[in-house]
């Protein structure tokens, strides 16, 4: 049975197009450490079209963290942005791309919780 990390990335790859990423273009690499080894997931985004691999090339944004923490994030049991603020996740490169991507992480209920677009709701009485 696949773990939460594999399920998360495999489901993303199977969708092929992710509407929450329609404004994004770039590459992200997730380096997940465990027992002195690094598991790599590489995500390419082109205006919502997504592909996932284990490529170890350069990326626009690189996220480095412990595999166990990322498993909790992928399962909706931990918050990625809170982990960044606590210094548990190191980020290099295009932080805006990661901010867009983080919308895909499940919320506490295990469901994705889309973040409203900037300016949504403005001008309402």
Instruction: Tell me the whole-structure pTM to 2 decimals.
Output: 0.83
Residue 107's pLDDT is: 80
- 40 in Cβ contact with 62 (< 8 Å): no
Three-state SS for 21-85 is HCCCEEEEEEEEEECCEEEEEEEEEECCEEEEECCCCCCCEEEEEEHHHHHHHHCCCCCHHHHHH
Residue ranges and CATH numbers for the domains of the chain are 4-103 (3.30.1050.10)
Span 72-84, average pLDDT: 93
Give the whole-angstrom CA distance, residue 71 versus residue 74: 5
Span 107-118, average pLDDT: 54
Q: What is the pLDDT of residues 20-75, one digit of tens each?
A: 999 999 999 999 999 999 999 999 999 999 999 999 999 999 999 999 999 999 99
Give the whole-angstrom CA distance, residue 31 versus residue 28: 10
In b/e form, how buried is each residue of 36-58, taking b as 16+ CB within 10 angstroms? eeeeebbbbbeebebebeeeeee
Q: Is the pLDDT of residue 111 over 70?
A: no
Q: Is the pLDDT of residue 93 over 50?
A: yes
Q: Which residue(s) pair with 61 in the sheet?
A: 28, 93
The phi and psi torsions of 65 (rounded to 5 degrees) equal -160, 175
- 108 in Cβ contact with 76 (< 8 Å): yes
């Amino acid at each position: 049975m696949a773990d939460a990390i594999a399920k998360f990335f495999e489901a993303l790859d199977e969708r092929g197009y992710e509407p929450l990423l329609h404004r994004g273009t770039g590459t992200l690499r997730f380096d997940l450490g465990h027992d002195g080894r690094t598991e790599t997931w590489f995500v390419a985004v082109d205006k919502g079209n997504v592909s996932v691999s284990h490529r170890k090339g350069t990326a626009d944004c690189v996220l480095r963290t412990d595999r166990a923490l990322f498993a909790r994030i992928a399962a909706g049991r931990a918050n990625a942005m809170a982990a960044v603020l606590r210094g548990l996740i190191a980020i290099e490169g295009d932080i805006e791309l990661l901010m867009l991507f983080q919308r895909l992480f499940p919320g506490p209920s295990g469901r994705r919780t889309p973040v409203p677009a900037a300016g949504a709701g403005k001008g309402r009485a």
